[in-house]
Amino acid sequence: MVQLHVKRGDESQFLFNTTVDATVETVIQQITAVYNGRLKVDRICSEIPELADHGIILPTNMQGLTEEQIVDLKLKDEWEDTCVPSGGPVFKMDEVGRRNGHAPNDKMKQVLMKTVEEAKALISKKQVQANVCVTKEMIKEALDQLRGAVMIVYPMGLPPHDPIRMEFENQEDLTGTQASLQVITEDECQLWWAAKEIQRGKKLQDYIGKNEKTKLVVKIQKKGQGAPGREPLVNDEQHKQMMMHFYRRQEELKKLEEADDDTYMDSEWSDRQALKKQFQGLTNIKWGPR
């Protein structure tokens, strides 16, 4: 299997296994599916703590309003009585005014937060250091875990306008958000290796040969953004080791320069007459009374 270390810019994303016979189109399709799937899991994981702390999201026309404004405008959340957390709600006002404040109890909150940690671990960038490849099956597993936890806490489901439910149903609208800049669709994705774009219509073996035991660092980029920056000649760990070696060597040279000790002149090995004395039998002579 060919192992691809996928990066965006200088930041590691995940490891991905493929073969030299795979077409570039297939590789791009699979990589973008994993890349965007990780982003989806990450978005859900960042939203669930808000759900755990402040309950379901308010309708769009009620978000950001004070209680007085809601009363004056005669607005009502139709989902408040339907989407009730298991075990009953605990009121905790959302200061941002985005959620209704009817939060799950501590036990249910723990279910949500524990699942978030497990899902994050599945798609974590630390999997690169652990030499674990992230697959579409792992993305699906993380999404299923999150969906199951939300169903346990909210058996009646979430409102259709809740971003978590919209993510699960692939109905999310990221227009105008920072998250939209991170997403790379299959059509606009480019794959770069060794400062060259891997062109569609070819196979990987056209670039790397037929050796399946190959490891590459590839970078994904949106069309029109130009070539990504080159990889540094040494990685962070190698640079750290080089600097440590340089520092130790510098300290050793400094100590040698500061050393002004000539006591070695009294040593036997430094005596230029040692060989002559040995032939004349003048070694190991002791002075003193018998």
Q: In this predicted model, what pLDDT tens digit does every residue of 75-121 receive, in sequence order? A: 888 888 889 999 999 999 888 889 999 999 999 999 999 999 999 99
Percent of the chain with pLDDT over 70: 86
Residue carrying the six token digits 């299997």: 1
* Residue 225 to residue 242: CA distance in whole angstroms: 34
148 or 227, higher pLDDT: 148
The pLDDT value recorded for residue 49 is: 95
Question: Residue 166 above 70 pLDDT?
Answer: yes
State pLDDT tens for residues 208-249. 888 888 899 999 988 887 777 666 666 677 778 888 888 888
> Phi and psi dihedrals of 201, rounded to 5?
90, -5
**Which segment, 7-21, 31-45, 202-216, is predicted with the most confidence on average?**
31-45
Percent of the chain with pLDDT over 90: 53
238: helix, strand or coil: helix
What is the per-residue DSSP string for 147-182? HHHHHHH-TT---TT-HHHHHHTT----TTSHHHHH
Indicate the Cα dihedral angle 33, 39, 44, 50, nearest 10°: -170
Question: Residue 182 above 80 pLDDT?
Answer: yes
64 or 271, higher pLDDT: 64
Strand blocks (E) in the chain: 2-8, 11-18, 90-91, 102-103, 189-193, 196-197, 215-222
Question: Residue 264 above 60 pLDDT?
Answer: no
Question: Residue 271 above 80 pLDDT?
Answer: no
Q: Give 169's pLDDT tier (boundaries 50, 70, 90).
A: very high
Give the residue among 90, 80, 85 at the shortest CA–CA distance from 58.
80
Would the pTM count as exceeding 0.75? yes
13: helix, strand or coil: strand
What is the per-residue DSSP string for 176-225? TSHHHHH---TTTEEEEETTEE--TTSBTHHHH-S-SS-EEEEEEEETTS
| Residues 227 and 197 sit within 8 Å (Cβ to Cβ) | yes
- Summary mean pLDDT of the chain: 86
* Residue 43 to residue 116: CA distance in whole angstroms: 11
Question: Residue 276 above 90 pLDDT?
Answer: no
Residue 242 Cα distances to 74, 98, 253, angstroms: 68, 51, 17
In angstroms, what is the C-alpha Rg of the chain? 33
| Residues 204 and 22 sit within 8 Å (Cβ to Cβ) | yes
Residue 144 in tokens? 């299923």
Half-sphere exposure of 136 (CA within 13 A, CB side): 7
The pLDDT value recorded for residue 119 is: 95
State pLDDT tens for residues 58-69. 988 888 888 888
Span 190-195, average pLDDT: 88
